[in-house]
Amino acid sequence: MKPVLIIRHAAIEGPGFLEDFLYEHNIPCKLIKIDQGDKVPTNASDYSGIAMMGGPMSVNDDLPWISDEISLIRDAAKLDIPLIGHCLGGQMISKAFGARVSANKVKEIGWRVVSVSENEEAKKWFGNHSSFLGFHWHGETFDLPLGATHILSSQYCPNQAWAMGKHLAMQCHIEMTEEMVISWCDHGESELKESRSSPAVEQANQIKESLENAIPNLNQVASQVYSQWIKGLVR
C-alpha cells in the first residue's frame, strides 16, 4: 500500500493522534517536515492519501512552499486521492478549492464546544456525535468552497469544517494529544496573555485543567473521523 503523506508545517504541530491511529491500522505514512526545509512532493499519485497539519503562518503569507502545497492538493483532488486538513491544513485545502481564507472575528484558543451539522454528510463523518469539545488555536477561518457541505460550527467560528466526497477540511484540532496541548500552551504563553481580551481564548491553566477528560473524548471523535477518512485511501 502506498503511504499516507503527512505534511507538518511547525515542529510542535505534528500529526499527534493521527499518526497513532494510522500505526494501529497498519497504514504506512511518510512525514514531510516543512519546518525543517523538506520539499513539498510534486506527485500526489505516490500516496494513498494526504494529511495536512496546522501551523502559525497564514495561507495568504508569501512563503515559497505554499504554492507548491496548493498544487499538490489540486493534483490529489483530480486523482480522487483523499485529503484531510487540520486548522492551517484545512485552510490550505479550502484555498486550493477556491475558497477565501480571512481573519476570524475573534481569536479562538482552548477548549470549546463544536456542533455537528444536521445533515447526512456530517453524520457520515461524525457518527452519532451531535457536538463535542474540540481544541482550537486559530485567528483565521475559511469560507466553504463551491460544492462543499458544512458539517461543523462553533460559537465564535461558524465554519469549523466542510466535507466534499473523500475530502475533509477542519478548522479545529482533533489530532491533539495531552503532550501536544501542554507543549502548545508552553510555547504560546505570550500569545495567550496578549489575547486575554478575546471571549474565545482560555488561559493555559484553564486549558490544562480540562486535559484529563477532554483528550480521551477528543480521541474518540478523531477515531470516528479518521475511520471514515481511511475508507477512501487509494489501495
pLDDT digits (tens, 9 = 90+) for 102-127: 999 999 999 999 999 999 999 999 99
Cell 478549492 belongs to residue:
97
Q: How far apart are CA 89 and CA 52, in angstroms?
A: 4
Flag whether the pTM goes above 0.95.
yes
Mean pLDDT of the chain: 97
Q: Of the candidates 27, 159, 141, which has an alpha carbon nearest to the alpha carbon of residue 51?
A: 27
Phi-psi region of 127 (alpha: psi -120 to 50; beta: other; left: phi over 0): left
What is the residue type of 115? S
pLDDT in tens, 57-94: 999 999 999 999 999 999 999 999 999 999 999 999 99
Containing 157, the helix (H) or strand (E) segment is: strand 157-164
Instruction: Cell 489575547: give the residue.
Output: 195
| Rounded Cα gap, residues 66 and 8, in angstroms | 12
Q: What is the pLDDT of residue 100?
A: 98
Q: Where are the domains of the chain?
A: 4-230
Rounded CA-CA distance 83/81 in Å is 7
Residue corresponding to grid cell 499519485: 45
pLDDT reading at 143 higher than 90: yes
CATH of 4-230, one of 3.40.50.300, 3.40.50.880, 1.10.40.30, 3.40.50.970: 3.40.50.880
**Per-residue pLDDT band at 173 (split at 50, 70, 90):** very high
